[in-house]
Structure 1
């Protein structure tokens, strides 16, 4: 299994990317990598090129670049060159910590959409209140506008992913809506509800409200891209706010408060760990012809390793080919 890696994407690139790749390579002998980046900047960290083919890339897509324009104009960038290697069949998956919008554009315009998928969706893995249990939410921002057929296609892809990668025999699929009743929402969400309910390939459990997103009530939650992105950012922001408030309140208290803080420190560490990107893997762009995975730009090397594990599982379980096979016999429009 060969993975194309954008070594220059992310806040701490290329250090965390290169070191994470080398550790993953050492752990899984069935993995090979094509690494794209600036040799001069990568060299201090790439101390062992065993099963790592390095390819020079003369430019980088930054977070300040306009995504589609950058993909078209910076064809010699580490991200675009990595995607071109996947399209050419030289690698089987694309991994980057870089500009999210550019990676979405790269996946769609370079690697290409799966036939039968009208719009790909961005799908992160989120923690829930139950330790060890997670939920997949899609779409989280790849599409500003949506049609009912898009959401049905995303539900199918998300369900296949949850079954294969998370090993859930019959994933619970829910629709993010403004109420749990079947007739809630605008005409779009009412139509999506009926489509998901009538699709025999889905274990559809009905609507779910944003307040229950992390309550382990579903394994896959489908949303239009605008709402999904807003809900995801609000959830992440609230989690960060609460953790910071707890920390500052404990540290600013008196002796007894600080003593209590020391006693509950392990429990707080466990809660913080649930929201860590190091354990939950990256966000998958589902709907393109190969695994395209985006990890948070501020990730550390542990997050790089966990995302590579995620990619390895997708390749081993043939997740994308399964989506392609399903769509060959089911026309969802």
Structure 2
């Protein structure tokens, strides 16, 4: 199957052009159907492509004069989006020159540029940032929102649940993904008014293809019992960073323990297959590629510190969402929900509530 080109912000990320081009080349070696628009400084991209002749024939370079910096606020990035590698990658999706955009740049800026350029799907008030997180089971869990909206009402949370479930059906193949709202307890009486109201609407939406059974606590996110965890961007961003920090803590603790004595070093050699499996499972590059759900187009955010393998995985996420037509699936589920929730006049948080994410 032939895929639309994928626009890559070649200047984003901690190491910029080298890793982004290497990641695109790796994705191309894994799947020859991929082709790319590489946005950024032409001279730098051409130098990077010298090491990847297999990519050169499948990529078009679009020269961009400027770059969205990591410290730029979303409002600043919006004003100067035209001509930047990030802004032009998203614009290529809007113009139909690319099917999806991938960037490892400033998260808040990418969200702002994408929302203004692509707009949201009918029936969606706000896009949400969703990512795959590892679990004890074979399937990852999808969690959203991870930082796009600090405050959410019940209507926003219900929309996030619908979008997350549509994404989960693509990833897991489950016809009815297990959806839960993040809460401080699983009892029906726990949580804020917004969470309680969202739960009420999701329980009442019998026609939706989801398995909703209330709440999940933060310590159960990675157990593998849930397919989609829904929350506001403030809580989701904190939970995500706590999970990432805990994973780094465990791996660093193991490294320290295995280096502490000769006996520990011998023990490491004996247990190396198990520790390598653990390292692979916790490596964020193997789960790289957060998605801005709810837009009229596919935009994927790669982690700023991603390796070439991580960038290649982000490209693969973008391609899979194009193949499975995620936006159409979300639209179908919104139609199933009907107008009952939309007619209740819930408050929608103002644009000032967005997190200006520190992720690069």
**Cα separation, 2, equivalents of 1:246 and 1:319:** 40
2:185 matched residue in structure 1 = 179
Q: How far did residue 230 of structure 1 move?
A: 0.8
- 1:11-160 to 2 correspondence within 5 Å? 11-47=14-50, 48=53, 49-130=56-137, 132-160=138-166
**Cα separation, 2, equivalents of 1:328 and 1:179:** 31
Q: How far did residue 328 of structure 1 move?
A: 4.7
1:205 matched residue in structure 2 = 213
**Cα separation, 1, equivalents of 2:330 and 2:235:** 25
Q: How far did residue 327 of structure 1 move?
A: 3.0
**What are the superposed Cα offsets for residues 200-229 of structure 1, whole Å, 9 maximum, x if unpaired?**
212102210001111111000101111111
Match of 1:44, SS state, is: helix
**Cα separation, 1, equivalents of 2:298 and 2:288:** 13
Match of 1:54, SS state, is: strand
Match of 2:292, SS state, is: strand
Residues 139 and 172 of structure 2 are in contact (CA less than 8 Å); yes or no, is this contact kept in structure 1? Answer: no
The TM-score normalised by the length of structure 1 is 0.95
Structure 1 residues 51-60 or 316-325, which shifts more?
A: 316-325
Match of 2:273, SS state, is: helix
Structure 1 residues 135-144 or 200-209, which shifts more?
A: 200-209
**Cα separation, 2, equivalents of 1:239 and 1:26:** 30
Residues 108 and 288 of structure 1 are in contact (CA less than 8 Å); yes or no, is this contact kept in structure 2? Answer: yes
Aligned length: 331
**Cα separation, 2, equivalents of 1:257 and 1:153:** 50
The TM-score normalised by the length of structure 2 is 0.88
**What are the superposed Cα offsets for residues 216-253 of structure 1, whole Å, 9 maximum, x if unpaired?**
110001011111111111111111112112211221x2
Unaligned 5+ segments in structure 2 are 343-360
Q: How far did residue 13 of structure 1 move?
A: 1.5
Unaligned 5+ segments in structure 1 are none
